[in-house]
Amino acid sequence: MLTPTATILGSQPPPSAYLESYRVLRSSLMALNEREPFSTALMTSARDREGKTTITTNLGTVIALAGQRTLLIDADFYGAGLTSTFGVPEGTPGLTDLCLGDVTLEDALLPTEVDALSVLPVGTAADVGPELVAATSIRDTLQMLSEAAEFVFIDCTPTSLAPHVDIVLLVTVARSDALVVRRCIDDLEDSHAKLGGVIVNDILPEDSVVHRSFHRYYQ
């Protein structure tokens, strides 16, 4: 279901600087959770192709590998990135079907190769997803899903879902346009969302002393 690639860790990732960067991110989130407990996190970005789906997948993987029940939800009704990443066949019931009451939670959740990791695909009615975002049913569904795992990560574009999760994690590519990122942060704050942090993606070796030290160690 989850095929390892150059960017997707998979269920048995070998030691590498890349893996270690996600372990560092996991540690940072666990420290945040100690200070300000959360269970639901919206993973979003100011623009497309910033890497939010890859980061959501790998972050969920390393948290689940540490033995904590983790659920990944595909709420990107336009791109369905998680659904594609996990190789979920087209027409598989998921989030939209759950919101519409057409399936049960047990029928919608899909297991993965990582024991503690489950995924909820976008569902068969992605075209009505944007309308569901404004409905009470999706908020009730998110509440139900937050009780199904210790950590729930929702892959989504910036939407009205943001105020209904515990925190928002904003993914941006290194050397991105700071004004675009700032505008996205302002929009999230205007919607009363709680920004948990910004995850900077695609940092080159020359950008980071930490990255270089990991690279030398694993070489």
Q: What is the mean pLDDT of residues 167-176?
A: 90
Kindly state the average pLDDT of the residues 201-219.
58
Which of 130-139, 190-199, 202-211 has maximum average pLDDT? 190-199
State residue 208's pLDDT score. 57
Domains and CATH numbers, the chain: 50-76+97-218 (3.40.50.300)
Q: What is the rounded CA–CA span in Å between residue 116 and residue 127?
A: 30
Looking at the predicted structure, is the pLDDT value of residue 210 above 60? no
pLDDT of residue 214: 46
User: Rounded distance, CA 13 to CA 88, Å?
Assistant: 21
Kindly list the strands in the beta sheet with 167-173, ordered across the sheet, starting from the edge strand earlier in the chain.
110-111, 117-120, 70-74, 151-155, 40-45, 167-173, 195-201
- Collapsing DSSP to helix, strand or coil, 176 comes out as coil
For residues 162 and 188, the answer to whether their CB atoms sit within 8 Å is yes
Instruction: Give the model's confidence band at 22: pLDDT under 50 very low, under 70 low, under 90 confident, else very high.
Output: very high
Q: What is the pLDDT of residue 206?
A: 63
Average pLDDT on 171-180 reads: 86
pLDDT at 219 over 60: no
Could you tell me the maximum CA-CA distance found in the chain, to the nearest angstrom? 52
* pLDDT at res. 47: 87
Please report which confidence band the pLDDT of residue 216 belongs to, taking 50, 70 and 90 as the band edges: low
- Which pTM value belongs to this model? 0.90
Per-residue pLDDT, averaged over 154-163, amounts to 84
Mean pLDDT to the nearest integer, 20-41: 96
What pLDDT does 153 receive? 98
Q: Is the pLDDT of residue 33 over 90?
A: yes
- Judge whether 155 and 53 are in contact, CB under 8 Å: yes
Which residue is listed with tokens 């990791």?
Answer: 117
- pLDDT tens string 50-103: 999 999 999 999 999 999 999 999 999 988 899 999 999 988 999 999 999 999
